[in-house]
Amino acid sequence: MATLTKAAVPSQEEARPRFAFLRNERVLYGLLGFVVLLGAWEAASRLGLIKTSLMSSPSRVVEIAIDAFGSGEIWPHMWISFQEWLFGFAISLAIGIPIGLALGWFRKAEALFGMLIPAFYSTPKVALAPLVILVAGIGFEAKVVTVVLLTVMAVMVNTMMGVMAVDKRHYDIARSFGASRWLTFRAVALPTAIPFILTGIRIGMGRALVGVVVAEFLSSTMGIGFYITFSGAVADTTRVMLGILILGIFGVIVGELIRRVDKRFDAWRPGIH
Amino acid sequence: MTDQQLALSARDVRMEYRNLTTRERFVAIETFSLDINEGEFVSIVGPSGCGKSTFLKIVNGLLDATAGEIKVRQTKAGRQDAMVFQDSALFPWYKVVDNVAFGLVCAGVARREAEQRALPLIKLVGLGGFEASYPYQLSGGMQQRANLARALTVDPALLLMDEPFAALDAQTREIMQVELLRIWNADKKTVLFVTHQIDEAIFLSDRVIVMSARPGKILADIKIDLQRPRNINVKRTPEFQKYEEQVWELISSQLQSAAGQFGGS
């Protein structure tokens, strides 16, 4: 009996272990997966299964990373890419969400522009790059425009789908009680759309990162995309890998932040938390 | 019977639908006339597809009748009518209290005040303590209690109920029938209740309207002379069973004629 009670109510020491975050299965397995992957990469390069000159190895990347962060060579690149990403992503949300809501809500708007959406959605936006350079030049603005072009549709279409996914019965309830159009939008359409909007944001986040790299590949003298192409051009594969890793880690961090926001809207959805 | 005493008066209501692909018209309801007195509990039963839910939606204003006239008595306070919907009719993103308060919010009542006014109704339907629960945390019976409370908060002159217990299991359904009568006893609202369950209609009602198969017409208007307040044991009495037989015979004749129509298939 005594042991049972102890197990049910952990003592103070047990409640605060040194590595509390490892208790979280998600974090634990996430880290484990990362370590396994790195270990395999290191082993493969040490055993000569892959050419270190082409694929580098984790230990070399760490070595170079310490150097790159220590000397400060990487910081300006990260900072400029981050700004391009942030501006492009924020503008995409500011444009994509309201327009998506409007397209989903107003049938006439959807009828007018609905046909254009798949056309624009399926066009490889990279194909617009020459146009972007002509219109916006090759500076910071051009990068932001490219990011927006790559991101905005995912946000917009998901938002629109969200509003269109409203259960007809829920509209009936609002109408039955005489809800105004505005109240129906707030009480029915928006709550239905929010999970979709969050999905759009999650997809858009990644698209924006692609946009940053694409824009910098095309023309730039700064940024992580530039860092990767430049290092590639001088056959410095370790720095290429470092750039890719930075992008990946950034994606994970932002993804995790979005997941946190997500949770705040999830209280009413069973089985998600 | 003077006009003032009528809570609802429907004259020659007709409802036609047009199938959008075949462009064929079909008649869902034909020359449907019905008067309901104030304070009366009236049920409509009929084979599925007879248009009984359609009639309810017309009264509620969710559908427009093709022809005919419907008058619902307007009271000074509260809404003209309010609907208790079939299952899953709560907003899943709202807590019970917000769901119940929704009707008042629609009427322009400030959210805070609407929530305050919803609380006693939540208690009345037996959901006290679940104000902050989300619908997915409630059983089907509890969800329908909230659904009922939402309609009651707007203090309607006429309460419309569209097969509200159809999705519940048999035992919960019986409990809810008894509960509905208890709640109804509190202020004897006029109720128009649609169901396909014969015993449910008889147990609850002062009058049972039996509808024909499509196009829906009134086959019979049966006054239920069972003493109130009623408890569930009344279902075991010979009087009750006589009513059941009477209604069942009317409906089964309809089912046979419907079966005849589709006999070839």
> Are the beta carbons of B91 and A177 separated by less than 8 Å?
no
Q: Return the higher-pLDDT residue of B32 and A16.
A: B32
Residue A169 with chain B: CB contacts under 8 Å:
85, 88-89
Q: Is the pLDDT of residue A228 over 80?
A: yes
Are B1 and B35 within 8 A, CB to CB?
A: yes
Q: What is the pLDDT of residues A165-193, one digit of tens each?
A: 999 999 999 999 999 999 999 999 999 99
pLDDT bracket for residue A208 (50, 70, 90): very high
> Are the beta carbons of A268 and B79 separated by less than 8 Å?
no
Smallest Cα distance from A178 to chain B, Å: 6
Mean pLDDT of chain A: 86
Q: Is the pLDDT of residue A24 over 80?
A: no
Are A187 and A179 within 8 A, CB to CB?
A: yes
Q: Is A165 within 8 Å of chain B by CB?
A: no
Three-class DSSP category at B10: strand
- pLDDT score of B5: 79
Q: What contacts 24+ positions apart, CB below 8 Å, involve A189-192?
A: A189/A101, A189/A104, A189/A105, A189/A163, A190/A101, A191/B91, A191/B93, A191/B94, A192/A162, A192/A163, A192/A165, A192/A166, A192/A167, A192/B93
* Interface pTM, i.e. ipTM: 0.89
Mean pLDDT of A150-159: 93
pLDDT bracket for residue A17 (50, 70, 90): low
Q: Is A191 within 8 Å of chain B by CB?
A: yes
Residue B61 with chain A: CB contacts under 8 Å:
175-176
- pLDDT score of A273: 44
Smallest Cα distance from A165 to chain B, Å: 14
pLDDT bracket for residue A3 (50, 70, 90): very low
Q: Is the pLDDT of residue A2 over 80?
A: no
Q: Is the pLDDT of residue A271 over 70?
A: no
Residue B83 with chain A: CB contacts under 8 Å:
176
> Are the beta carbons of A174 and B79 separated by less than 8 Å?
no
> Are the beta carbons of B94 and A188 separated by less than 8 Å?
no
Q: Is A178 within 8 Å of chain B by CB?
A: yes
Q: Return the higher-pLDDT residue of A100 and B22.
A: A100
Mean pLDDT of A14-32: 71
Residue from the list A175, A183, A187 with its beta carbon closest to the beta carbon of B91: A187
Mutate to test the interface with B, among A167, A169, A171, A176 (most CBs of B within 10 A): A176
Percentage of residues in chain A with pLDDT exceeding 70? 90
- pLDDT score of B75: 72
Q: What is the pLDDT of residues A44-57, one digit of tens each?
A: 988 888 888 888 88
Q: Name the token pair of A152.
A: 């905005």
Tokens 């192409």 -> residue: A229
Mutate to test the interface with A, among B106, B134, B148 (most CBs of A within 10 A): B106
Mean pLDDT of A210-229: 91
In this prediction, the residues of chain B whose per-residue pLDDT falls under 50 are 1-3, 263-265
Residue from the list B62, B107, B134 with its beta carbon closest to the beta carbon of A172: B62
Strand partners, B37: B6
Residue A266 with chain B: CB contacts under 8 Å:
none
Q: What is the pLDDT of residues A106-149, one digit of tens each?
A: 988 888 887 888 887 778 877 887 888 888 888 899 999 999 99
- pLDDT score of B263: 46
- Amino acid (1-letter code) at residue A106: F
Q: What is the pLDDT of residues A32-82, one digit of tens each?
A: 988 999 899 999 988 888 888 888 888 899 999 999 999 999 999 999 999
List the single residue in A with minimal CA-CA distance to B153. Answer: A177
